[in-house]
């Protein structure tokens, strides 16, 4: 699922829709919730214009969260590293560092990772995309098992869910601190946790 605009929008319509998404994202990042009138004012349009692009407030919130996850996936998961680029654990460490960096840098990263979104539609969209990430993590773990770099006895589905849950909890703890610890520190902890959860066969 993505936040792609519906077909048939004019360039002006696409620009207006993007302004609404940006304004709604800023409100969610700051307050964890939004009001359509405030979003419309931030985007420089009348409140009625929102309904030309989104069926409801829930539709707008859903689109914002999915747009965030589309960026997340593109930045972290879309560029797969080849097996020649290091061991499975080395490639996974690189991906984890990229993931932490993205969530630290994105305006919505703190609100999403720390569970600070209070809109029900945001919670539902986040749950859908988090499950997709857990499935992708399980698929990645199975690849490590097939190549002999991870213990084949590991339940990949459970381990995928565990690694994603651990990362989310770690980021929630980090991003709610004032000030947050450096991203590099958090990434180092994430890598160590990942290696503890997914040791190679020789370490078991």
| pLDDT single digits (tens) 31-53 | 999 999 999 999 999 999 999 99
Domain residue spans of the chain: 11-60, 63-203
Interval 99-150: pLDDT, tens: 999 999 999 999 999 999 999 999 999 999 999 999 999 999 999 999 999 9
Topology at the third CATH level for domain 11-60: Arc Repressor Mutant, subunit A (1.10.10)
Burial, 88: exposed, middle or buried (Cβ in 10 Å; 0-12, 13-18, 19+)? buried
Burial, 61: exposed, middle or buried (Cβ in 10 Å; 0-12, 13-18, 19+)? buried
**Integer-rounded Cα radius of gyration of the chain:** 19
CATH of domain 63-203: 1.10.357.10
Counting residues of the chain whose pLDDT is more than 70, the rounded percentage is 93
What's this model's pTM, rounded to 2 decimal places? 0.91
Q: What is the pLDDT of residue 204?
A: 43
- Eight-state DSSP code of residue 198: S
How far is Cα of residue 98 from the mean position of the Cα atoms in its chain?
12
Q: How confident is the model at residue 66 (pLDDT cuts 50, 70, 90)?
A: very high
């Amino acid at each position: 699922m993505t936040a792609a605009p519906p077909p048939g929008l004019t360039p002006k319509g696409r620009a207006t829709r993007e302004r609404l998404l940006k304004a709604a994202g800023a409100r969610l990042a700051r307050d964890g919730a939004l009001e359509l009138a405030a979003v419309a004012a931030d985007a420089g349009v009348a409140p009625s214009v929102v309904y030309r692009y989104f069926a409801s407030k829930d539709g707008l919130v859903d689109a914002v969260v999915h747009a965030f996850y589309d960026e997340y996936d593109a930045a972290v998961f879309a560029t797969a590293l080849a097996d020649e680029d290091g061991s499975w654990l080395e490639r996974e460490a690189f991906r984890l560092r990229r993931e932490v960096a993205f969530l630290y840098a994105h305006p919505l990263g703190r609100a999403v990772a720390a569970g600070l979104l209070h809109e029900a539609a945001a919670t539902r969209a986040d749950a859908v995309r988090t499950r997709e990430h857990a499935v992708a993590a399980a698929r990645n773990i199975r690849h490590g098992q097939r190549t002999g770099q991870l213990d084949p006895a590991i339940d990949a589905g459970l381990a995928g869910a565990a690694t994603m849950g651990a990362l989310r909890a770690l980021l929630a703890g980090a991003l709610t601190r004032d000030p947050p610890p450096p991203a590099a520190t958090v990434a180092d902890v994430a890598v160590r946790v990942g290696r503890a959860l997914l040791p190679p066969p020789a370490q078991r």
